[in-house]
Amino acid sequence: MEQLLAALRQLDPLNDDHWTVQGDPKIEAVKQLAGQDVAVDRQAIVSAAPDLNRKSAEQPELLLMNKPAVTQSPTPSVEPEPEIASLPEELTARERAYDLMAGSEGVVRDLLEKQLSGRGLTAQESGLVIKNLSTEQLKILSAGLEDLGLAMNRAVTEMQAEIKQIKLNRAWVNMAINQVEPEQSNQDAIRAYLDNQQKTRLEKAGVRQRILGNLDLRELDHRSKLDQAMARKTERGMNRPQF
């Protein structure tokens, strides 16, 4: 335990190789400082120094390291600033993925930005990312991408719900309009057309009746004047007309 504590006290808060993206001590760095004879894992580090992180390492006098801190006078408690871990779980995964991207450089940073923005990577680009990230960093990236996917699914679901509500509102408005001005069905339109045609025929028949009502069709002769004269002559025979 003393060797582990001594190794933890040697961690440099300014050295990126000593800390993870979340600010926890890197297990490999502690192993190198403690020596091969000391068993080092995450649980052992937390048990030895539960308050140790990159920020608190800047003030080693505040760390317990399994022994009480020596102070000359009671020090008022300082409310720690909220960390990413205190945020909701879905935001934590996303923030960690963005922090991983911000801490990367060159092509890897560009590829992470492309991936986190929703654009896919080619097989070659994915291989390059995997090659340049540690297992822990890949887990952070995977959790962040999963969270982004869930957020997009939620957005799609909410949009579908809004579209459904819009359709329901439109149906309600159309129903209200139909109550004021009922919409004609196809059968009603056909029936109205036929009724209108029948009405027109009756009106024409009435006009014809008024015009021809006082006429005797038997008195009408469709023959020409010449044909009428010849017919009269035939009826008369050899007798001359009497005046």
Q: Is the dihedral of CA 131, 137, 143, 146 positive or negative?
A: negative
Cα–Cα distances (Å) from 97 to 21, 149, 152, 234, in that order, read 10, 13, 16, 121
Share of the chain above pLDDT 90, in %: 1
Are residues 116 and 145 in contact, defined by beta-carbon separation less than 8 angstroms? yes
pLDDT tens digit sequence for 22-74: 888 888 888 888 887 788 888 888 888 888 888 887 775 555 454 444 444 45
> What is the predicted pLDDT for the residue at 43?
85
pLDDT above 80: residue 81: no
> What is the end-to-end Cα distance of the chain in Å, rounded?
161
C-alpha 202/C-alpha 208 separation (Å) is 10
Share of the chain above pLDDT 70, in %: 78
pLDDT tens digit sequence for 146-177: 887 877 788 888 888 888 888 888 888 888 87
pLDDT band at 82 (very low <50, low <70, confident <90, very high): very low
pLDDT above 60: residue 199: yes
pLDDT tens digit sequence for 203-235: 988 887 877 776 666 666 667 778 877 877 777
Global pTM reads 0.31
Mean pLDDT value of segment 101-106 = 86
C-alpha 93/C-alpha 147 separation (Å) is 7
pLDDT band at 4 (very low <50, low <70, confident <90, very high): confident
Of 12-16, 117-121, 129-133, the least confident:
117-121
> What is the predicted pLDDT for the residue at 242?
62
Q: Taking the C-alpha atoms of 230, 234, 238 and 243 in order, what is their torsion angle to the nearest 10 degrees?
A: -60
> What is the predicted pLDDT for the residue at 70?
40
pLDDT above 70: residue 97: yes
Q: Taking the C-alpha atoms of 26, 27, 29 and 30 in order, what is their torsion angle to the nearest 10 degrees?
A: 120
Apex 77 CA angle, 72 and 80, nearest 5: 130
Under 8 Å CB-to-CB from 65, ≥6 apart: which residues? 5, 8, 9, 48, 49, 52
What count of Cα atoms within 13 Å lies in the side-chain half-sphere of residue 55? 8
